[in-house]
Amino acid sequence: MSFQNEQIVESKTCPQCGVSFDITHKDLEFYEKVSPTFGWKKYALPSPTLCPECRQQRRLVWRNERKLYKRKCDATGKDMISMYSPDKPYTVYEEAFWWSDKWDGRDYGREFDMQRSVFDQIWDLVLKVPHKSLINNFETNENANFANFSGNNKDSYWVFEAGSLEQCYYSNNIRRSYRCVDNLGLIYGDNCYQTVDCNNVNTLSFSQDCKDCHQSSFLIDCRNCEHCFMCFGLRDKKYCIENKSYSQQEYEKKKQQLIDAHPDLSSYFQNFISTRIVPAFHGFGNQNCSGDYLYNSVNARHCFDSKNLEDAKYCSVMSSSKDISRDCYDYDYFGYSEKSCEIVTVGQNAYNVLFTVNTWDNVSRVYYCINCKGSSDCFACFGLNSKQYCILNKQYSKEEYEKLVPKIIERMREDGEWWEFFPASMSPFGYNETVANEYYPLNKGEALDQWLNWSDYEAPFPKVDKVIPASKLPDNIKDIPDDILNWAIECEVTKKPFRIIPQELELYRKHSLPIPRRHPDQRHLDRMSLRNPRKLFTRNCDKCGIEIQTTYAPDRPEKVYCEACYNKEIY
């Protein structure tokens, strides 16, 4: 399937946001390809009713990455960390028990009621079947309890969408890193602080979009640079400040002069880079693709933060390291898949998975299922492990399953549910607890007006000796006393208190970094704000005038160059 020369066959208006969006003949070919067959009859997927952004928002309300709470396991009574706050009405098991053979999701199976909607009956399962406290490869985590969507981590704290870490803290989407704090989108980092979308970097801080850079600070879009400060767009450089080269001795002197002259170095840096030339697209090894941060992909349109895609559209954070994910639409997080549509959080080896949430590893022909692993040929199920031919968690024979599913599909057609993703109101999380609120922020009133859930639960704060406003903290880390570990710091933005952990304080002292003035959640939002939204704009290259698609809106101050012009300028 090639996306070149796509023909628009239908234009629709999204009933949720009012935006117009197009359906192409290639879209219809995809929906035909992935439509399931029962009893020799194909049950075709119709074109979607919502626009791509509203569809993604509806999926992401099911993904709570960062909001963790203490509560008791409903099976063992043990204290545990969970992504479900204690006030929620669900049964929640600690990870080890949830994965054990001490319970069976089929024990909650029920007959399908043709007089009720499918979504209502799935909601019954959501309320009754045990939920897993966190989504981790818990057997491979060591001393990394405060983590979610993670695995193979050691001595780490408050890390999310994370793997193969040691001594890392307060970071999202981070892999194969050591002794790092406050990072977003970091791969192969060592001793890094406040970086965004960096790869193979060492002792790097306050930097973004850098690769193979070391012993540097305040860099953006630099490659193979060392001992550089306040620079952008450099390649293979040493001892540079504000994109000017110095001797090693001059470099150290000039760097200290800048530090002494500008107490707020972050603001100074943002002003320095505000009118720089930027590439329209981040990525490499792509053919016929659009989006951003996309790698080694073919025919991938409107895709972000992903690699190894082929014939994909409206996908994000698909990161299978070996296999090519093919024929996927409307897919968010994580692994290798084929012929799948409208899913969020799927593990490796997923085939023909449609309209599902949290289905892990080796699933196939699974439709409208939640929290299932290693299963196939299941419809409208919740919390199954290595099962087949189940409907509403009830076991059927192959013949019974294939006879009943078409009847359920006809019922869904009558109710307008057929090939629509789960309503956002069914999510077990408050909108403000989910990734959706990071990409499509709403306040409480706006969320409730859209029939979205909202969480007002506030976990009790640990007892501390005193609370100190962030403005009262000493600027120099050398002036921070050891007993700050017993204090709470009041965030300078949200006024929400937070604490410093010992490992964190040790790293700040080692690298002469100031104590943070903002709550970890606010620091995460600050890093997110440095990234462009997952939205494409049509504009012209500011060098050659060719039409381009980019995440830089036309009213942005940066000069945006197409790939060819940017490479000529940089190299």
Structure confidence at residue 334 (pLDDT): 83
Question: Is 241 inside a domain boundary?
Answer: yes
Which of 415, 431, 447 is a domain's end point?
415
Q: Residues 331, 319: contact at Cβ < 8 Å?
A: no
φ, ψ of residue 102 to 5 degrees: the values are: -80, -5
Do residue 257 and residue 325 come from a single domain?
Answer: no
| The 193-208 sheet, strands edge to edge | 136-137, 147-151, 157-190, 193-208, 214-220, 226-232, 238-241, 244-245
**Which among 556, 504, 57, 564 has a CA at the least distance from the CA of 273?**
556
Least confident of 9-13, 30-34, 275-279: 275-279
Percent of the chain with pLDDT over 90: 92
- Model confidence at 199, pLDDT cuts 50, 70, 90, reads very high
Structure confidence at residue 426 (pLDDT): 96
How far is Cα of residue 286 from the mean position of the Cα atoms in its chain?
22
Question: CB pairs under 8 A, 24+ apart, for 279-282?
Answer: 279/221, 279/560, 279/561, 279/563, 279/566, 280/541, 280/548, 280/549, 280/550, 280/552, 280/560, 280/561, 280/562, 280/563, 280/566, 281/548, 281/549, 281/550, 281/563, 282/197, 282/209
Beta bridge partners of residue 291, listed in sequence order = 303
Structure confidence at residue 3 (pLDDT): 53
Residue 477 neighbours by CB distance under 10 Å: 16
Q: What is the mean pLDDT of the chain?
A: 95
Structure confidence at residue 269 (pLDDT): 96
Do residue 273 and residue 365 come from a single domain?
Answer: no
Token pair of 225, please?
A: 């640079």
Structure confidence at residue 557 (pLDDT): 86
Burial readout 58-71 (b: 16 or more C-beta within 10 A, e: otherwise): bbbbbbbbbbbbeb
Residue 175 neighbours by CB distance under 10 Å: 18
Structure confidence at residue 462 (pLDDT): 86
Question: Is 238 inside a domain boundary?
Answer: yes
Do residue 275 and residue 296 come from a single domain?
Answer: no
Do residue 190 and residue 306 come from a single domain?
Answer: no
Structure confidence at residue 39 (pLDDT): 83
Question: Is 106 inside a domain boundary?
Answer: no
CATH number, position 391: 2.150.10
Token pair of 284, please?
A: 């490499």
Structure confidence at residue 335 (pLDDT): 82
Question: Is 450 inside a domain boundary?
Answer: no
Q: What is the mean pLDDT of residues 346-372?
A: 94
Do residue 320 and residue 205 come from a single domain?
Answer: no
What's the half-sphere exposure (Cβ side, CA atoms, 13 Å) at 509? Answer: 13
Q: What is the mean pLDDT of residues 71-91?
A: 97
Question: Is 247 inside a domain boundary?
Answer: yes
Which of 383, 415, 447 is a domain's end point?
415
508-524 tens-digit pLDDT: 999 999 999 999 999 99
Q: How far apart are CA 569 and CA 515, in angstroms?
A: 38
Do residue 247 and residue 297 come from a single domain?
Answer: no
379-394 tens-digit pLDDT: 999 999 999 999 999 9
Which of 392, 415, 438 is a domain's end point?
415
Do residue 205 and residue 270 come from a single domain?
Answer: yes
Do residue 238 and residue 275 come from a single domain?
Answer: yes
Q: Residues 132, 145: contact at Cβ < 8 Å?
A: no
Do residue 268 and residue 304 come from a single domain?
Answer: no
User: Helix, strand, coil shares of the chain as percentages rounded to 5?
Assistant: 25, 35, 40
Structure confidence at residue 319 (pLDDT): 80
Q: Residues 374, 363: contact at Cβ < 8 Å?
A: yes
Question: Is 113 inside a domain boundary?
Answer: no
Please name the residues in contact with 544: beta carbons below 8 A apart, sequence gap of 6 or more.
562, 564, 565
- Model confidence at 1, pLDDT cuts 50, 70, 90, reads very low
Q: Is the pLDDT at 304 greater than 90, yes or no?
A: yes
Give the C-alpha distances (Å, rounded to integers) separating 34 from 315, 341, 364, 388, 471. 16, 8, 12, 20, 56
Do residue 163 and residue 272 come from a single domain?
Answer: yes
**Which among 548, 551, 292, 552 has a CA at the least distance from the CA of 562?**
548
Q: How far apart are CA 168 and CA 179, in angstroms?
A: 5
Structure confidence at residue 209 (pLDDT): 98
Q: What residue numbers bound the domain in which 237 lies?
A: 152-279
Helical pair 118-128 and 398-415, crossing angle rounded to 10 deg: 110
**Which among 225, 53, 173, 150 has a CA at the least distance from the CA of 531?**
173
Least confident of 35-39, 176-180, 248-252, 385-389: 35-39
Amino acid sitting at position 129:
V
Structure confidence at residue 229 (pLDDT): 98
Token pair of 95, please?
A: 């990870």
Q: Is the pLDDT at 4 greater than 70, yes or no?
A: no
- Model confidence at 438, pLDDT cuts 50, 70, 90, reads very high
Question: Is 369 inside a domain boundary?
Answer: yes
Least confident of 174-188, 288-302, 313-327, 425-439: 313-327
Q: Is the pLDDT at 427 greater than 50, yes or no?
A: yes
480-501 tens-digit pLDDT: 999 999 999 999 999 999 999 9
Q: How far apart are CA 313 and CA 304, in angstroms?
A: 10
Do residue 337 and residue 360 come from a single domain?
Answer: yes
- Model confidence at 322, pLDDT cuts 50, 70, 90, reads low
Q: Residues 103, 75: contact at Cβ < 8 Å?
A: yes
Do residue 275 and residue 321 come from a single domain?
Answer: no
Structure confidence at residue 524 (pLDDT): 98
Q: What is the mean pLDDT of residues 300-312?
A: 96
Question: Is 339 inside a domain boundary?
Answer: yes
Q: What angle do CA 491, 494, 498 make, to 5 degrees?
A: 40
In 440-486 the beta strands, taken as DSSP E runs, fall at 466-469
Q: Is the pLDDT at 302 greater than 60, yes or no?
A: yes
Token pair of 25, please?
A: 């003949």
- Model confidence at 18, pLDDT cuts 50, 70, 90, reads very high
Token pair of 372, please?
A: 């299932």
SS3 of 149, please?
strand
Percent of the chain with pLDDT over 70: 99
Structure confidence at residue 321 (pLDDT): 65
Q: What is the mean pLDDT of residues 137-166?
A: 95
Split into its structural domains, the chain has a count of 3
Q: How far apart are CA 488 and CA 498, in angstroms?
A: 5
